[in-house]
Amino acid sequence: MQHFIEILTKPDNIPITLLLVSCIFFTWLYWVKAKKNDSQEMPDEAKMDDKVQVWPYLVRVEFIATIAVMALLVVWSVFLDAPLEEPANRALTPNPSKAPWYFLGLQEMLVYFDPWIAGVVLPTLIIVGLMAIPYVDINPKGNGYYTYKERKFAVLTFCFGFLILWVSLIVLGTFMRGPGWNFFFPWEKWDPHYVAVLTNVDLSEYFGIPTRLPDNTINPVAFVFGAACVFGFYAIGPIYWYLKRNDEIMQKLGLLRYAIVSFLFLTMMGLVIKIILRLAPLMFGINPVKYVWVTPWFNI
Amino acid sequence: MRFMMLFASVLCFTFVLVAGDVTGKIVFEGAAPTPARLRMDADPVCKRAHKEPVVGEEVVVNKNGTLKNVIVYVKDGLGGKKFDPPKEKKLFDQIGCVYTPHVLGVMTGQEVDIVNSDPTLHNVHTLSKENPSFNRAQPMKGMRMTEKFMKPEIFKVKCEVHTWMGAYIGVFSHPYYAVTGNDGSYTLKGLPAGEYTVEAWHEKYGTQQSKVKVDASGKVTADFKYKGN
Amino acid sequence: MLFEDRAKIPVEKRSYAKYYLIFSGLLFLGTAWAVWDEVRIRRPWKEYQTEYRELLSARLDSLRQVALENRDQERLKALEDELAKAKSALQSEEYTKAVEQKNDLLADLDIATREWRFARSRSDAAYYQYKKSLQTGINVEELKAEVAKHDADIESYFHRMEEINKQIALLDSVIYKYRDAVVRLEAELAQINSAANAYGLKLERAQAAPIAIRQVILNDFELTPFSEIKARIDRCQTCHVGWSEPLMADAPQPFKQHPLPELLAKHNPENFGCTPCHRGQGPALTTGFAHGEADKYWETPILRGVDVWASCNSCHSNESVLKHAPPFTKAKQLLLESGCFACHEIKGYTDVPKIGPPLNSLPAKVRPDWLFRWVKNPKDYNPHTRMPRFQFTDEEAEAITAYLMKIGRESNFQLVRARGTFAGGSSNRGKVIFETIGCTACHVAGENTAVRTKRGTTYDIAPELTRVGSKANPDWLFDWLKNPRHYNPDTRMPSLRLTDDEARHVVAYLMTLRDNRKLDPVNLALDDPAKIARGDRLIREYGCAGCHAIKGMENEGKVSVNLSDFGRKKYEQMDFGDTRELPLNAEVDYQENPDGTVSVKRTWAGWVYGKLKNSRLYQTDRISQKMPVFGFSDEEIRLLRMFLTSMTRDVPLPTYQRAFDRRQQEIEAGRRLTMHYNCVQCHTLEDRGGYLLASFEAEPALGPPPLPESQGAKVQEQWLHGFLKNPTIIRPWLEVRMPTFQLTDAEISQIQKYFLGLSKQELVIRDYASTTLDPQYLAPGRKLFDAYQCLSCHFTGRIPEGKSFADLAPNLALASSRLKPEWIVDWLRDPSKLQPGTRMPTYFYGGEAPDRTVFGGNAEEQIKALATYVWSIGSRARQAPASGQ
């Protein structure tokens, strides 16, 4: 535990700790307000019809808030020095080598996918997906007030994508990834000599299909199997469309918008499934899954 | 602050004008070793200079059972006080191929006349550690050199030509020292009142220390006792 | 509640004054705190400097008081009285009146001077007009008269000035009579007060010293890891203010004076800084960060204890002897003698000869069972051997023995028996010979360990012979003693020129030194080809060929890691095996626990300590290790670890490196050679060695003579060459012998250049035999030679009778064939300067000669005469060699 407290209170980790606390706080705040709004006819925010000018009534509050934050930062700077590490040396890189905290989620994804997927495709999809939100979100409700009932899908997807995936991957990367990017529980010491079990196998190998042939080329059977798994997973989208094609919401959304949403959503869930496939088998003493689909160009 | 206090205590000592003497004798117990006979065959001049057989002066026990050639001196307690060396010179003679005196006490900066009274080559090799060591020849009778020793220590002097020749010179930064003579007694005169560590030194039997307190009454006795083997 | 009430107030009506006041107050306090933190709390050096100022001032003040106290009080009183009197005399009527008059006259003089200057100016102007009128012809005469008038004025004012000056001079004689008395007394007072005033001045300066950061900037000092030139900033002296102040020799840190001022004389911290030697974080100004220990990312924390000497290697890696760094020199000696470079690549130790004997003809020397036991555990037979313990199993040792015996059988080495065998020697006489001629300088036999103790290492430089009778074949011993190079052409063992009889006696004596322990008999199968093949593999694997020449393994590489950057290795890169972990704050790096386990601190230093203590410490059931166990003492481990600390590639740029010119290279080569041949076992060279002198404590003159730094200036090159080739007797009374090392011409010339380099001389080809003597100096020289009784100690040709050998000095008949004439002159002038502690006295001290009758007592002429005469003795002797040498 002592080690964990050390890691927790390292000057460069304190913002992450604060991030965690503030995420929980704001989620709780949202939840309380949304629940109250959902239980009454009119949201609280809609009742406030008393409007005032931004200047000076908002600006003065912001000004005071600025002062308060500055006071906090000044005191912070007295206590916590800028965290510097050793001089850069190309012959001797630090271990663990960690990305800036806001990229730790991406770095963590590298554990589960090959660099091409984790480093290029998925970040691009995140950006594209964020850009697509205004175009695919056709639900006009929830503007300017807290609500859950009226935006269940949007809220849940956000909570899952941001809080669970993004924030918790950052927390995991900061606090639980030690030397060699090995996983350490909070109560464990970061041992540079730690030896981890390396028994990952590809999914096809569960079914006795080796990924590679003896001459180290990719086994076509495994390739087809992997492709089937991936495409099968993405087939959930069309199937769901086919089943629900007559629903009002589907009609409103239209095929194109649905295709985008379902692709992005499934990709996000796929990421989680891959993490589960990698981590969960360890608990049952089974070899973890390395890749689902191995191709000469990328691995999923 | 500590220095100021130290300084103040030094001042207190030096401003007290009452002074006293420390006296005593060096008692020798046990059988006196037979002194080694000095064989001066190597240099006929030396041999001719003596009719009687000559013996070494390493341990000389006086008739009254005291020890000769012991230096007694104040080792500690004078603080930072400095003393001017006396104007008179001391004499360190080489006569009959023997150093006379065998043990010499001088003050830092005091002049010592080193004289060769023999018509043969002598050299004076000081085996000093603090003062610069020198090794100088005096080939003629009556040669004289005047030396000063600036750092306190007790060191040996020897002659390379005549290996039996050896003597000791004790250099002190203050006038409170004495070399015992034929009666084995000493007196350290005119010590200001205060507490001192007095040390006795002998070339063979080493050093001994004693704490003395000099006060207004003016006379303190401190005897030392050396045991023969 | 509060917020709800507040929510009822319309936004326009809400007051934020309270919040504004609180937060801006907090911001103000926070800012003030940050400023205080910045200028005071984070700058403890300000406090240190204030404290230092007080400390130094107090010390200077007390010294000043003592100096004041030590003044001659009577004389002081008298002087002060006189001065007071002289000053009161300045009030006398005569003096005041004179001063008054002088002042009046000075005013008059000013007026007169001004008028004189104006008159001159008028004259110049009139003269110009007059000259101009000459060209036009108008008013010539008038203008000429005007010039004359002004000239007359000049004259009269000048007279007036002279007049006044005369009167002033008269008054001055009165005034200065009074003033001089005061000035003289004041000067005398200043003289008496000078000591106290000097302290006073220092005190003033100390108190006026500004509180400021003191920094040294070393431009172009080193390279960054990206090979860019980097400056080094060093602010250590901001806190360590008293480093150069002798008064601070016993002060507490950080004010203490540096303990080695003589070292600082060569590495002045004012322009060299501190971190090049001590490491640490130069620009930092708080203790933990400046020392680099509080900052776990700082790669070069301060070097504590003996480790600080590691820094010498940054710039002096080429030198194996550093005068001011004995621990560093010792560490290099350890490294060289322990043969670390045999398995590891170490910068600067790439072409060092193998330290062990060749193993190609062992059957001639030892029996297989001895060899087997030796391979298994050399320390069992000889606890002080340099051969480390490889912890071979019986099976492995047997295989190695089998291989060595096999190549031995194939060797064509033949013992020379024609000269006779050891039979018939007397062990008693052998013992005497062994103990007197110098064998004990390198070999320990029996109880006499004085040389080993003086040397102070855990190992001997040559095999201990206490059990040699159970090891060596006596026939081989005889052959070896007669000519060591017969068995091993590269051996360092010299020939002591033993006669056959002497050799027989020594062999007889050595054969009495037997291993009396009861050893289990061993049964070896040495002819099994599988065993031999396994031995071959083992020998290659364990790198035996690093130290020993072994047939068939001439081209084996180094078997272990390169140590050239080992000092930079991180503890994360090191494996601690099954050792327990010592907490980082433990006082020791390594600890043996009562239950037999070992705890090691998880640091670089801890790892290295454990490794050097027990090379197999980190071996586990999976990780096997090859490094043998050396059995270093704690001190040796610390020294070697210090040296390993220095093994980094990031060293200062060449401008800061010691220039290693030709002379330095020659000196270094000579040092290596003299260390290789163990010259320093007998001779004191560069303040080191002379270990054999431990056996001559009572009479050092009977031991081997020292080789002072002036040796190169002393002896003739031809003579030294001949002497080293085939030593001749210079001091017949010495029983200890200069051995014949069978040095090659190249090696001798290395030694020559080494000696010449040390005495800063160049190698010049000279014909000493044809040195001409100035005949006019010969007769006076002879006279002085007698007057100064040189023969009291020296002799010419025949050893005088009736003198004890200990009192003799060298044969002067050899001077002209051995010594350089200039050296004789220098030697006579001041022997102690050339060889401190010599028994030769100075005759010409203070530049004066004892005998005034020759050359009017001119010391230089007399020295020349003596040198000429001494030279002539040998020249005559060479024509008619004296007998009895």
pLDDT category at B13 given cuts 50, 70, 90 is very low
> Which pLDDT score, from 0 to 100, does residue C420 have?
55
Q: In 3-state terms, chain B is what percent helix, strand and coil (to 5)?
A: 10, 45, 45
Q: Which of C754, C643, C669, C692 lies closest to C462 in space, CA to CA? A: C692
Query: Residue C228 has which token pair?
Result: 């860019």
Task: Give the C-alpha separation, C51 to C252, whole Å.
Answer: 11
Q: Please return the burial class of C455, using the count of CB atoms within 10 Å of its CB with bins 0-12, 13-18 and 19+.
A: buried
Q: What is the pLDDT of residues C610-620, one digit of tens each?
A: 999 999 999 99
Smallest Cα distance from A58 to chain C, Å? 9
- Please tell me if residue B161 touches chain C, with a CB cutoff of 8 Å: yes
User: Which of A12, A50, A64, A84 is the best residue to mutate to test the C interface, defined by the most C CB atoms within 10 Å of its own CB?
Assistant: A64
| CA B148 from centroid of its chain's CA atoms | 15
> Are the beta carbons of C636 and C340 closer than 8 angstroms?
no
Query: Residue B153: which residues within 8 A CB-CB, separation 6 or more?
Result: B128, B129, B130, B131, B170, B171
| Chain-chain contact of A68 with C31 (C-beta, under 8 angstroms) | no
| Chain-chain contact of B135 with C806 (C-beta, under 8 angstroms) | no
Q: What is the pLDDT of residues C322-334, one digit of tens each?
A: 989 999 999 999 9
Which residue blocks in C731-858 are alpha helix, DSSP H?
745-758, 775-787, 815-818, 821-829, 831-834
> Which pLDDT score, from 0 to 100, does residue C421 have?
64
Q: Write out chain A residues lying below 8 Å of C24, CB-based.
A: 67
Computed on alpha carbons and rounded to an integer, the radius of gyration of chain B in Å comes to 19
Smallest Cα distance from A102 to chain C, Å? 23
Q: What is the pLDDT of residues C419-440, one digit of tens each?
A: 556 677 888 999 999 999 989 9
**Nearest residue, CB atoms, B137 vs list C63, C803, C843:** C843
Smallest Cα distance from C795 to chain B, Å? 13
Task: Give the C-alpha separation, C414 to C475, whole Å.
Answer: 11
Q: What is the mean pLDDT of residues C868-878?
A: 76
Query: Residue A200 has which token pair?
Result: 């990952």
Task: Give the C-alpha separation, A284 to A199, whole Å.
Answer: 14
Q: What is the mean pLDDT of residues C815-843?
A: 88
Q: What is the residue-averaged pLDDT of chain C?
A: 89
Query: Residue A114 has which token pair?
Result: 């090959």
pLDDT category at C876 given cuts 50, 70, 90 is low
- Tally Cβ neighbours within 10 Å of residue C395: 10
Task: Give the C-alpha separation, C463 to C382, whole Å.
Answer: 8
**Nearest residue, CB atoms, A78 vs list C20, C26, C33:** C33
The most distant pair of C-alpha atoms in chain C lies apart, rounded to whole Å, by 144
Main-chain phi, psi angles of C21, to 5 degrees: -65, -45
- Please tell me if residue A70 touches chain C, with a CB cutoff of 8 Å: yes
Strand ranges inside C195-239, DSSP E: 216-223, 229-234
Q: What is the pLDDT of residues C213-243, one digit of tens each?
A: 999 999 888 888 888 898 899 999 999 999 9
C448-454 contacts at long range (C-beta below 8 A, 24 or more positions apart): C448/C695, C450/C694, C450/C695, C451/C681, C451/C691, C451/C692, C451/C694, C451/C695, C452/C384, C453/C694, C454/C691, C454/C693, C454/C694
Q: Which of B62, B79, B70, B64 lies closest to B196 in space, CA to CA? A: B79
Q: What is the pLDDT of residues C174-199, one digit of tens each?
A: 899 889 989 999 999 998 888 889 99
pLDDT by residue for chain A (300 residues), tens only, comes to 788 888 888 888 888 889 999 999 999 999 999 999 999 988 888 887 778 889 888 999 999 999 999 999 999 999 888 888 888 888 778 888 888 888 898 899 998 998 999 999 999 999 999 999 999 988 888 888 999 999 999 999 999 999 888 998 999 998 999 988 988 888 888 888 888 888 889 999 988 889 988 888 999 999 999 999 999 999 999 999 999 988 888 888 899 999 999 999 999 999 999 999 998 888 888 889 999 999 988 888
Q: Which H or E run contains B103?
A: strand B103-107
Residue B167 pairs in a beta bridge with: B157
Edge-to-edge strands, sheet with B135-138: B103-107, B166-172, B153-158, B122-126, B135-138
Strand ranges inside C612-725, DSSP E: 684-685, 688-689
CA distances from A122 to A105, A238, A259, A296 (A): 11, 22, 17, 19
> Which pLDDT score, from 0 to 100, does residue C2 have?
64
Q: What is the mean pLDDT of residues C475-481?
A: 90
> Are the beta carbons of B228 and B30 closer than 8 angstroms?
yes
Q: Please return the burial class of C745, using the count of CB atoms within 10 Å of its CB with bins 0-12, 13-18 and 19+.
A: exposed
Peptide bond into C269 cis (omega under 30): no
> Which pLDDT score, from 0 to 100, does residue C366 have?
92
> Which pLDDT score, from 0 to 100, does residue C853 have?
85
Q: What is the mean pLDDT of residues B187-193?
A: 85
| Chain-chain contact of C841 with B6 (C-beta, under 8 angstroms) | no
pLDDT at B9 over 70: no
Query: Residue A89: which residues within 8 A CB-CB, separation 6 or more?
Result: C225
DSSP state of C621: S
| CA C389 from centroid of its chain's CA atoms | 34
Q: Which of B170, B204, B182 lies closest to B74 in space, CA to CA? A: B170
| CA A24 from centroid of its chain's CA atoms | 15
- Please tell me if residue B10 touches chain C, with a CB cutoff of 8 Å: yes
Q: Which of B206, B209, B177, B152 lies closest to B22 in space, CA to CA? A: B177
> Are the beta carbons of C510 and C472 closer than 8 angstroms?
yes
**Nearest residue, CB atoms, C789 vs list B14, B133, B139:** B139
C709-722 per-residue burial string, b: 16 or more CB within 10 A, e: under 16: bbbbbbbbbebbbe
**Nearest residue, CB atoms, C20 vs list A64, A95, A179:** A64
Task: Give the C-alpha separation, C604 to C583, whole Å.
Answer: 14
pLDDT at B90 over 60: yes
| Chain-chain contact of A87 with C299 (C-beta, under 8 angstroms) | yes
pLDDT at C878 over 70: no
DSSP state of A12: T
pLDDT category at C811 given cuts 50, 70, 90 is confident
CA distances from C275 to A29, C221, C233, C272, C517 (A): 56, 11, 9, 9, 55
| Chain-chain contact of C34 with A67 (C-beta, under 8 angstroms) | no
Query: Residue A231 has which token pair?
Result: 């495409």
DSSP state of C258: P
pLDDT at C704 over 90: no
pLDDT category at C298 given cuts 50, 70, 90 is confident
> Are the beta carbons of C431 and C443 closer than 8 angstroms?
no
Strand ranges inside C345-469, DSSP E: none
Q: Residue type for A68, please?
A: A
| Chain-chain contact of C789 with B121 (C-beta, under 8 angstroms) | yes
For C163-186, the three-class secondary structure string (H helix, E strand, C coil) is: HHHHHHHHHHHHHHHHHHHHHHHH
Query: Residue A242: which residues within 8 A CB-CB, separation 6 or more?
Result: none
pLDDT at B19 over 90: no
Q: What is the pLDDT of residues C729-782, one digit of tens each?
A: 887 778 888 999 989 999 999 999 999 999 998 888 888 888 878 888 888 899
Residues 167-226 of B with CB under 8 A from C: none
pLDDT at B4 over 60: no
CA distances from C720 to A98, C380, C653, C748, C826 (A): 68, 42, 40, 8, 19
Task: Give the C-alpha separation, B99 to C204, whole Å.
Answer: 51
For C831, which residue in chain B has the nearest alpha carbon? B135
pLDDT at B18 over 80: no
Q: What is the mean pLDDT of residues C443-449?
A: 87
Computed on alpha carbons and rounded to an integer, the radius of gyration of chain C in Å comes to 42
| Chain-chain contact of C832 with B134 (C-beta, under 8 angstroms) | yes
C352-355 contacts at long range (C-beta below 8 A, 24 or more positions apart): C352/C672, C353/C490, C353/C676, C354/C490, C354/C546, C354/C547, C354/C548, C354/C549, C355/C386, C355/C547
Q: What is the pLDDT of residues C386-415, one digit of tens each?
A: 999 999 999 999 999 999 999 999 988 888
Task: Give the C-alpha separation, C648 to C652, whole Å.
Answer: 11
Task: Give the C-alpha separation, C461 to C681, whole Å.
Answer: 9
- Please tell me if residue A69 touches chain C, with a CB cutoff of 8 Å: no
pLDDT category at B12 given cuts 50, 70, 90 is very low
Interface ipTM > 0.90: no
**Nearest residue, CB atoms, C789 vs list B1, B120, B145:** B120
| Chain-chain contact of C27 with A193 (C-beta, under 8 angstroms) | no
The torsion region of residue B50 among left (phi > 0), alpha (psi -120 to 50) and beta comes to: beta
> Are the beta carbons of A175 and A108 closer than 8 angstroms?
no
Query: Does an interface of 3+ CB pairs under 8 Å exist between A and C?
Result: yes
Q: What is the mean pLDDT of residues B189-194?
A: 83
